[in-house]
A and B are shown apart, each in its own frame.
Chain A
Amino acid sequence: MPLMPLKLNVNEIHEYEQNRPPYRMIDFAEEVIPGISAKGYKLLNEDEWFFPVHFPGDPNMPGMLQIEALVQMCALTVLTLNGNKGKVVYLLSANNIKLKRKVLPGDRLYLDTKLLSWKRGIGNCTGTGSVNGEISCQADFQIVMPDILKQFRVTKKM
Chain B
Amino acid sequence: MNNQEKYNQAFMENFSIEASKLNAELEYNTIPEWDSVGHMSLIASLEEAFEIMLETDDVIDFSSYNKGKEILKKYKIEM
Contact = CB atoms under 8 A, between A and B. Distances in A.
Interface of A: 92, 119-122, 144, 149-157
Contacts of A154: 28-29, 36, 39, 59-63
A122 B60 contact: no
Closest 5 CB pairs of A and B: A154-B28, A156-B63, A152-B59, A122-B40, A154-B63
B44 interface: yes
Q: In the complex, which of the residues A92, A152, A153, A154 has the most CB atoms of chain B within 10 Å of its own CB atom?
A: A154
Contact of B43 (A92, A120, A150, A156): A120
A153 B62 CA distance: 10
A150 B41 CA distance: 14
Interface residues of B, number: 17
Nearest to A92: B37
Contact of B63 (A92, A121, A155): A155
A120 B37 contact: no
17 contacts: A119-B40, A120-B59, A121-B40, A149-B36, A151-B56, A152-B36, A152-B39, A152-B56, A152-B59, A154-B36, A154-B59, A154-B62, A155-B60, A155-B61, A155-B63, A156-B27, A157-B63
Contacts of B29: 154
B61 A149 contact: no
B35 to A, nearest CB: 10
Contact of A122 (B27, B44, B59): B44
B40 A153 contact: no
Nearest to B28: A154
A53 to B, nearest CB: 32
Interface string B33-62: 000110111011000000000001001111
Nearest to A149: B36
